[in-house]
Amino acid sequence: MASVPSLAASVNQRVADALSAALPEAGAVDPLLRRSDRADFQANGMLALAKKLKGNPRELAAQVVAALPAGESGAVIKEIEVSGPGFLNITVADEAIIKTLAGRAADDRLGVPYAEDAGTTVIDYAQPNVAKEMHVGHLRSAVIGDAMVQILEFVGEKVIRRHHIGDWGTQFGMLIQYLIEHPHELDHKGGEVSGEEAMSNLNRLYKASRAVFDSDPEFKERARDRVVALQAGEQETLALWQRFVDESKIYFYSVFDKLDMEIRDPDVVGESGYNAMLEETCRLLEESGVAVRSEGALCVFFDDVKGPDGKPVPLIVKKSNGGYGYAATDLSAIRDRVQTLGANTLLYVVDARQSLHFKMVFETARRAGWLNEKTHAVQLAFGTVLGKDGKPFKTREGETVRLVDLLDEAVERATGVVREKAGKVGLTEQEIVENGAHVGIGAVKYADLSTSAARDYKFDLDQMVSLNGDTSVYLQYAYARIQSILRKAGDARPLAHPELELAPAERALGLHLDQFGEVVSEVAATYEPHKLAAYLYQLASYLTTFYDQCQVVSADNPPELVENRLFLVSLTARTLHQGMALLGIRTPERL
């Protein structure tokens, strides 16, 4: 399990060494190597350096070239030349490409390095609300969060998952009181209920209790008293509250299951889980002077947070009626995650519309000393899901779209796409159904993950399941096609032959394969899964060009050429498979 340095890293190192050999007075300089269309790589660090040393960049670049042995047998760099105002254009040896890739292929992690500074990340994601329907916003948090969990764990981070579900608040007074007065409303007569049934039970109860709450002032009064009983931890009230949570979990788990996502029960620590800490959190904030009393409420103020009237808008940790809100819970959760769970990083995958809340919560925690240089908090904020019309996603009736309906439709469409091609591949009905689910759910996840999280995106099923373009189906077909080639290759096995000269499409594919480790490391460090999606799409595109220009299995090809090409496509398949798995997307073997 050795991490394999990329060719870019090796070349960069060599150029940096040549630079310091040629110009010892310059100190350590980054040659700023990039992939390039002109050659394999271009280094333009000489421009800034020349400026600094008041020298001529082209002359400087020529000195570096002179200090670099190139073209010798076994050398990584085959050609290096000065171009333009003082760039270095660098071509690597074919042999070096295949040797590096063979190193990646020999490692079951494909040579991806572990993060040097791995620590503990507590990630807050997939946090729906009890007794409420899940919508597309919850989809984004779950999909992006799950991808980040996979990616961080892959680079060696210890990841603790927290599903901060909305399971506490005044609305439970109304629900519980209604259930007390209509005791059999949540009974499961015929044994187990499905997720759909659970949600429809909850919906029914919610609507019915809301109606009484709004029309009957005495019921309203009893519901208010019930909130007090709940907060006081009164046994019977708590037991009824638990029934709502359990019913909701049946529904949540059915949706996560549909999403092909593992959510573990011990990781579901909702708002109620921090109830016992709220009072102390407020006391600590008040004693340290971080929070102050203002109009009866306990508040934290910020110089740069003001309302439209210019007056400061505080973070309210305790309301004037003594109730605790969302902020007190989040501040308590920070204490728990830092002090008990030992987090170095707190990552929140939450809608961008909550950014001000998190900004204030994080700043408060910093002032209180709960966050510091050793532990920092980040919101991985995501944008809104829009309909085809570019407006926030709603049904024709103007209601929020139910997540399950969307997922079912995606799977249905995808199954149609799979079925159309199934005859050629000889898929059984069961395989069609299984693949349909993997393609449909993959399409939804990929569409979400392939644009930068911060941006809004349009939910367009037609585009998502299209076979052409930047879609998961395109990547899944690329993978399945390679598997089919490998199956048909007969006795020929993938084997690296560094002695062979490479065709341009082979070099392009090979150099891109070599970047996988760097991309994964970057994505893990910057929380930008869309860069992994872009990398995989590029990889599939290079593969398509390669197929156009190079025959893999052909009677005209000498055996070592067949083996080397099989080696290239099989490493491509493994990279696609691994990369898609990190995004939470399956790659069926036959499609």
Q: How far apart are CA 363 and CA 571, in angstroms?
A: 46
Residues contacting ligand ARG: total by CB under 6 A: 8
The reply on whether position 164 binds ligand ARG by CB under 6 A is yes
Nearest to 122 by CA among 290, 345, 416, 352: 345
Instruction: Give the 3-state secondary structure of residue 160.
Output: strand
Residue 129 binding ligand ARG, by CB under 6 A: yes
CA distance 130 to 230: 15
Determine the Cα–Cα distance for residues 297 and 188; give it in Å rounded to an integer: 43
Tokens of residue 281, six digits: 């959190």
Closer CB to ligand ARG, residue 90 or residue 380? 380
Least distance to ligand ARG, CB of residue 64, Å: 51
Minimum Å gap between C-beta 129 and ligand ARG is 5
- Cβ closer to ligand ARG: 82 or 259? 259
Given candidates 31, 86, 166, 584, which one binds ligand ARG under the rule CB under 6 A?
166
Asked whether position 345 contacts ligand ARG by CB under 6 A, the answer is no
Nearer to ligand ARG, 348 or 382 (CB): 348
Identify the DSSP state of 88. Answer: E
Give every CB contact of residue 466 below 8 A, 6+ residues apart in sequence: 473, 474
246 to 265, contacts with ligand ARG by CB under 6 A? none
Cα-flanking dihedrals φ and ψ of residue 121, to 5°? Answer: -110, 130
* Token pair 């050795």 in the structure block, residue: 2
- Three-class DSSP category at 460: coil
Least separation, in Å, of the C-beta of 453 and ligand ARG? 15
Cβ-based nearer residue to ligand ARG, 29 or 316: 316
- What does the alpha-carbon distance between residue 300 and residue 479 come to, in Å, rounded to a whole number? 53
Distance CA 543, CA 481 (A): 10
Q: How far is the CB of 138 from ligand ARG (least distance, A)?
A: 6
| Least distance from ligand ARG to the Cβ atom of residue 326, Å | 7
Give the nearer residue to ligand ARG in terms of CB position, either 138 or 507: 138
Cα torsion 170, 171, 176, 177 to 10°: value is 80
CB 137 within 8 A of CB 127: no
Choose between 127 and 575: whose C-beta lies nearer to ligand ARG.
127
What type of residue sits at position 429?
E
In 3D space, the residue among 30, 39, 38, 41 whose CA is nearest the CA of residue 7 turns out to be 41
Q: Binding pattern to ligand ARG, positions 285-324, x when CB under 6 A?
A: ----------------------------------------
Q: How far is the CB of 327 from ligand ARG (least distance, A)?
A: 9
Of 98, 174, 316, 350, which lies in the binding site for ligand ARG, with binding defined by CB under 6 A? 350
Burial 285-294 (b: 16+ CB within 10 A, else e): beeeebbeee
CA distances 2 to 74, 104, 139, 517, 523, Å, are 22, 9, 36, 12, 20
Closest CA to 251 of 197, 205, 206: 197
- Residue 579: exposure state from Cβ atoms within 10 A (0-12, 13-18, ≥19): buried
The distance of closest approach from Cβ of residue 471 to ligand ARG in the complex, given in angstroms and rounded to an integer, is 28
CB of 186 to ligand ARG, least distance (A): 22
**CB 350 to ligand ARG: min, Å:** 5
Question: Judged by CB, which is closer to ligand ARG: 120, or 541?
Answer: 120
The one-letter amino acid code at 247 reads: E
CB of 398 to ligand ARG, least distance (A): 20
Contact status: 195 vs ligand ARG (CB under 6 A)? no
User: Binding segment for ligand ARG among 26-34, 124-132, 278-286, 499-507 (CB under 6 A)?
Assistant: 124-132
Closer by beta carbon to ligand ARG, 164 or else 413: 164
Binding segment for ligand ARG (CB under 6 A), chosen from 3-11, 59-67, 122-130, 514-522, is 122-130
CB of residue 162 to ligand ARG, shortest distance in Å? 8
Question: 363 or 470, CB closer to ligand ARG?
Answer: 363
List the structure tokens of 516. Answer: 């996988």
The nearest distance, CB 140 to ligand ARG, in angstroms, is: 11
Structure tokens belonging to residue 32: 């700023």
Q: Which one, 278 or 540, has the nearer CB to ligand ARG?
A: 278
* CB nearer to ligand ARG: pick between 172 and 348: 348
Q: Which is nearer to ligand ARG, 166 or 173 (CB)?
A: 166
Closer to ligand ARG by Cβ: residue 127 or 570: 127
Q: Specify the stretch interacting with ligand ARG by CB under 6 A; choose among 91-99, 121-129, 384-392, 563-571.
A: 121-129
Residue 590 contacts residue 431 (beta carbons within 8 Å): yes
Phi, psi dihedrals of residue 162, rounded to the nearest 5°:
-130, 120
Q: Are 161 and 181 in contact (CB under 8 A)?
A: no
3-state secondary structure of 35: strand
- As a whole number of angstroms, the distance between CA 471 and CA 464 comes to 6
Q: For residue 133, state whether it binds ligand ARG (rule: CB under 6 A).
A: no
Q: Could you tell me which residues are beta bridge partners of residue 493?
A: none
Query: What are the structure tokens assigned to 304, written together?
Result: 């740069």
- Which CB sits closer to ligand ARG, 198 or 331? 331
Mapped onto helix, strand or coil, the DSSP state of residue 294 is strand
Give whichever of 348 and 479 is closer to ligand ARG, judged by the CB atom. Answer: 348
Q: Compute the least distance from the CB of residue 559 to ligand ARG, in Å.
A: 58
- The least distance separating ligand ARG from the CB of residue 124, rounded to whole angstroms, comes to 5
- Measured distance CA(531)–CA(582) in Å, rounded: 12
Residue 94 within binding range of ligand ARG, rule CB under 6 A: no
Tokens describing residue 315: 């973070």
Contact with ligand ARG (CB under 6 A): which of 330, 336, 363, 563? 330
Q: Which residues bind ligand ARG (CB under 6 A)?
A: 124, 127, 129, 164, 166, 330, 348, 350
